[in-house]
Amino acid sequence: MKDYNILVIDDEAAQRDVLTGYLKKKGNKIFSASSGKEGIEITKSNSVDIILSDFKMPYLNGIEVLGEVKKINPEISFVIVTAYGTVENAVKAMRLGAFDYISKPVDLDELDLMIERIIEHKNLKSENQLLKTQLQEKHKISSIVSQSQKMEEVINVAARVAESKANVLITGENGTGKEVLAKAIHYISPRKDAAFVAVNVPALTETLLESELFVHEKGAFTGADKM
């Protein structure tokens, strides 16, 4: 397991010591706090990847700590450690951005699996962001090479309209780069994190084209079984 910076927040010293001792043996850098307030201060002044926080604590409970942590760094994976009677509150915390919850007494094997899932989730997010960045770099306007004055004008217009919500119609003969230009507009627009879907219009019948672009009603034509 790769070492991560993990903060354990619990007002019970025995529980806190068990978790910090076990996670430290796994090679992680460990911070510990005896209160929500102390945990928030540690989060502000240190690089923290994962927080394990007790739910029921004096002054600030786990959900309140979660809210403050997400303001500091929304990328921190937050896990609620809860007794049986507060599972409902732990589920509420997940709706507010907690990664998951684990019940007391903490099963250390279950804790290992939880940390592994968090790491896998973080790695997937990093890979997705890298792929998005590479895709945007590949299709950005400046990657279009042209020696034509007319094409330079088209590229300049495309760069301007990308910021708007206007529909853009690109016309031209086969092989003139219509899809390349459409992708370039998409990947510099505010919609760049959404999917770009290319549709091969000449290959579709009129009915199927309407369905592809504007959806259809069930039973409108053969095979129309989805709304």
pLDDT digits (tens, 9 = 90+) for 155-195: 788 888 888 888 888 888 887 778 888 888 888 788 877 88
The rounded Cα 30 to chain-centroid distance in angstroms is: 25
What is the bridge-based pairing of β-strands 50-54 and 29-33?
A: unpaired
Q: Are residues 106 and 57 in the same domain?
A: yes
Count of domains for the chain: 3
Q: What is the structure's pLDDT at 92?
A: 84
7, 48 Cβ separation under 8 angstroms: yes
Amino acid at 28: N
Q: Are residues 159 and 176 in the same domain?
A: yes
Last residue of a domain, one of 116, 133, 150: 133
Q: Across residues 43-72, what is the average pLDDT? A: 94
Separation of alpha carbons 171 and 68, rounded Å: 51
Share of the chain above pLDDT 70, in %: 83
Separation of alpha carbons 187 and 140, rounded Å: 6
Q: Are residues 179 and 208 in the same domain?
A: no
Q: For the whole model, what pTM was predicted? A: 0.61
